[in-house]
Chain A
């Protein structure tokens, strides 16, 4: 036989073998379960901890590593009496085939997912662990989550970005990223209108200025984040449901460091909230909260747009820059709201929803549930930067009664940066519970009565992804669909000379005597 023919046959065999391997992997046929296996009387230890969680029926496979001794493992995934499918592993890394996984979950909303782990030792005898159980929710989770990825940076930053992730799979794509050597900018808080990324805002700090990138209908425009004649740049923002107005906080703050305990901290010298009218590039004040002796931050709209929620605290000092005053530990924010009528652009009375004097803690990052019943907040010992405080925990505040209680899913480390899914049945938050250093995204189911299930970690294709990942996930936002604006459009706006400027109405925020920003450029909001 000629060499050429032999080569062709060899190549064909190779392609067929690869195709067979691919199909076999996707089929979920990990081989038969062992007939006789000794029971261990306990569930297998796995990491990440996907046990007793409530999973969305449309979530990507929860790949994991079995932390048990064994020369071979078989894992059966099934619901009830269904046969399900099995996965085989020699090293304990369980990579679940997406096809059978989706089929199993889609067929069993409201059911219970059972994960049976079998391990074979060196002598060839099998052990059977008690099944790991997870419930499958009836309600789907939004298809996408977007977040920032960055190392636990302090001041210098080289690589960071805002990314979106398809929750039904593992595809992560950059919305806007900054890479060492090409660009060294800080890409931060991103905001959508009611989880719809067609209209969105992205903050930017770097050589191209401190700016806001407003994307609408596929077009992006750059707006100087520091309004005309003012010194404080815009930071946290929230879209009014009408998609025309943004509530923005204008902050002047500084990062500082502790000699002992948790190292990083942030001090807010001053902060005000104003309304940015995107069509007219105009910022107007919120008259009820224009008191210069108080600071307001973390604006958030109720889903119907009738209330603006925010955190507010008294200013216990006069300075707007310089050394951090000793009173930094006494700063505690109240949760407040003010009524607003978008049609007439009129404000109502100011209300204290929950005061820091009641909780003894600083109440931050309010996010109202889509049904308007609860405000999900982060409470921490002091200040306005919960991601740096180990004491940060998630709390529900019932709007109707003013009652508040901690979520049962809190950890000893920082739990913050939370957001609601569009159907109000899921929350996502950034937690440092695993290590105290690296923020990871957790998702938890919230039932109609406000009961919160054990959260699960954002699944990854590589079961060992989190073992070596040195980057923080934070500022997550759910999105019902992928951001349609290409990164290139954001970059075109960044490099465009056309930067629009916000103008102020009288008595607008930041109209306090202008002072140089307190090193605002060094803050990297983790």
Chain B
């Protein structure tokens, strides 16, 4: 086979084949390991104190479209938001990522070909690997990568125009004319397109001055677009400063800035490769190419594996999986996930979900101290509850419909319309016999790609039955809903009111008792024990028994607890607690070693401070 034939073979079959295999690999990995549906359901999930997921909404209709496209980069952002809705389905999400990886490979290869650098087939995989790395780390950067892909595609189209000397001038003018709309559509990635185009002009047409002029022009267009966007917002004109503007520009142009080192490395590599190729005899070149292909594939596979599994953020995955299970009411799975991969830190949102899972699986009173607990995050109301999706859902579950409405409206104001908020608000207003208000939320939700069908079905059901009497969820909430009007002062007041009004409200009963446990109000816990049967409990939960023993020990009383008795195992544990506290008083480590998962370590470390705090 001649050298030329080998090169053709390489171009025609090997590179596309490897790219296809890479994309298939990306698809399989993202589908099976990453699972994009975790991101779809992960809006508001706190992964670290500085990082929480903000999953973008998308609504069909011109209003949403115009709202998006009226800012630079809005068109790409609109498309990315649209695509991201399909993250709801793991296979569709994986397909989107794999397809985008394919476009990035093709575009980067086209850039390499246009500026005629060596080893472009290897460099072509860099953006796709970066995409894989971000997806693996659960970073929502689809819009940035989509804009880069679009920029590379535009660049490939523009570069074609420069092929002939006659058409080159016209191609440059076409680029200049199309720059403003392109900049508006692509946002910061437009600069990448302009940079690539300037490089093409420089290297292919040997016009460094023209290249610099084009790049400067692009920077002016980009800054102009950014400035226009800022001054269109009325207040911005009064906040405009050079530093602020530079910060905005940096933020907008980061896809280009991230690409700069890659392009610089490509050019440097090319310089080295050219130098070597001048020294290499023609006979060796073919051999080198074959060896290079094998090495390149090996490097690609190695890097891919490294990026895929090396960057896999297990902690984030656990938190997102736990959130997913909570949002889809898979409580047993949630607890199993946390037990198998305990996170290093428990964000308040996770604490809500864990306690809810414990309650829903009938284990709140028995096992709540197997997990970290914080009385502040058992139940919050009003603005405090806004950041935690689990809290709003819990309020509704308890029967605090007004407070759930309050929280949902606060969240709607600060977070904008999100499908799950619209759904919650629709349900709340159906429960409160306001079908017309529910219809407004449902009609808005009907414009959502994923939940639209549910909204339309609900609208149809509402048309037939405005109270939705046949809906078990609505009926259940109505049954538990607070009827007596009192002023809301605190979450404790709410729980008390719920139990006063309906002693059979098991959720309220257990959360109220959990509150007493967490605030070390042993006397209140003991008062709750005789009411267990009313609340539907059939055994004395372990924590309640432990609190009872503590109360008896501390006060010397033998209260009437309605015939409930503690088990011999519980008494045995209590003896151990007494022994440990006698030997090493207030040593949490010693307590945790012997009595981990019981109420005793929590009580020993919290009872003074929390009990004082709980006093009126």
Contacts and interface: CB of A to CB of B under 8 A. Distances in A.
Q: Most A CB atoms within 10 A — which of B403, B447, B494?
A: B403
Contacts of A158: 413-414
B486 to A, nearest CB: 5
A261 B447 CA distance: 30
B471 interface: no
B437 A437 contact: yes
Nearest to B436: A435
A258 B414 contact: no
Contact of A257 (B414, B437, B488): B488
A116 B237 CA distance: 51
B400 interface: yes
Nearest to A267: B487
A522 to B, nearest CB: 9
Contact of B436 (A152, A436, A491, A495): A436
Interface string A153-179: 111111100000000000000100101
Contacts of B482: 259-260
Interface residues of A, number: 42
A259 B485 contact: yes
A203 to B, nearest CB: 17
A350 interface: no
A492 B406 CA distance: 35
B87 interface: no
A323 interface: yes
Interface string B369-405: 0000000000000110010000000000000111101
A87 to B, nearest CB: 21
Given A153-B409, A154-B406, A257-B487, A468 B447 contact: yes
Given A154-B409, A488-B237, A438 B440 contact: yes
Contact of A256 (B238, B239, B488): B488
Contacts of B414: 156, 158, 180
A182 interface: yes
B497 A259 contact: yes
Given A259-B486, A487-B234, A152 B409 contact: yes
B380 to A, nearest CB: 14
A313 to B, nearest CB: 20
A409 interface: no
A263 B406 contact: yes
B interface, over-half SS: helix
B440 A470 contact: yes
Contacts of A159: 413
A434 interface: yes
B543 to A, nearest CB: 28
B434 A436 contact: yes
A217 interface: no
B238 A491 contact: yes
A263 B412 CA distance: 16
B417 interface: yes
Contacts of B447: 468
Contacts of B416: 180
A157 B415 CA distance: 10
A466 to B, nearest CB: 8
Interface string A445-489: 000000000000000000010111110000000000000000110
A210 to B, nearest CB: 18
B409 A469 contact: no
Interface string A253-284: 00011111101100000000000000000000
Contact of B434 (A154, A259, A435): A435
Contacts of A467: 439-440, 443
Interface string B474-497: 000000011111111100001001
Interface residues of B, number: 44
Contacts of B523: none
A103 interface: no
B444 A470 contact: yes
B484 A179 contact: no
B137 to A, nearest CB: 26
B612 interface: no
Contacts of A179: 233-235
B400 A151 contact: no
Given A182-B233, A436-B437, A470-B444, A156 B383 contact: yes
B429 interface: yes
A523 interface: no
B236 interface: yes
Given A438-B440, A468-B447, A154 B487 contact: no
Contact of B382 (A155, A174, A436, A464): A155
B16 to A, nearest CB: 33
B413 A257 contact: no
A324 interface: yes
Contacts of A261: 402, 485
Interface in A485-502: 487-488, 491-492, 494-495
B265 to A, nearest CB: 36
B462 to A, nearest CB: 13
B487 A256 contact: yes
B607 to A, nearest CB: 29
A507 interface: no
Contact of B410 (A155, A469, A487): A155
A259 B484 contact: yes
A242 interface: no
A183 interface: yes
The interface centre, meaning the residue of B383, B414, B481, B487 with most chain A CB atoms within 10 A of its CB, is B487
Contacts of A470: 412, 417, 440-441, 444
Nearest to B236: A182
A435 B234 CA distance: 33
Nearest to B238: A495
Nearest to B429: A437
Nearest to A328: B487
A488 B237 CA distance: 9
Given A177-B234, A495-B238, A468 B488 contact: no
Interface string B201-226: 00000000000000000000000000
Nearest to A157: B413
A442 to B, nearest CB: 15
Interface in A186-221: none
A-B pairs with lowest CB-CB distance, top 6: A435-B437, A437-B437, A435-B436, A182-B235, A263-B402, A257-B488
6 contacts: A151-B412, A156-B413, A256-B487, A257-B488, A261-B485, A491-B238
Interface of A: 151-159, 174, 177, 179-180, 182-183, 256-261, 263-264, 323-324, 434-438, 464, 466-470, 487-488, 491-492, 494-495
Interface of B: 233-239, 382-383, 386, 400-403, 405-406, 409-410, 412-414, 416-417, 429, 434, 436-437, 439-441, 443-444, 447, 481-489, 494, 497
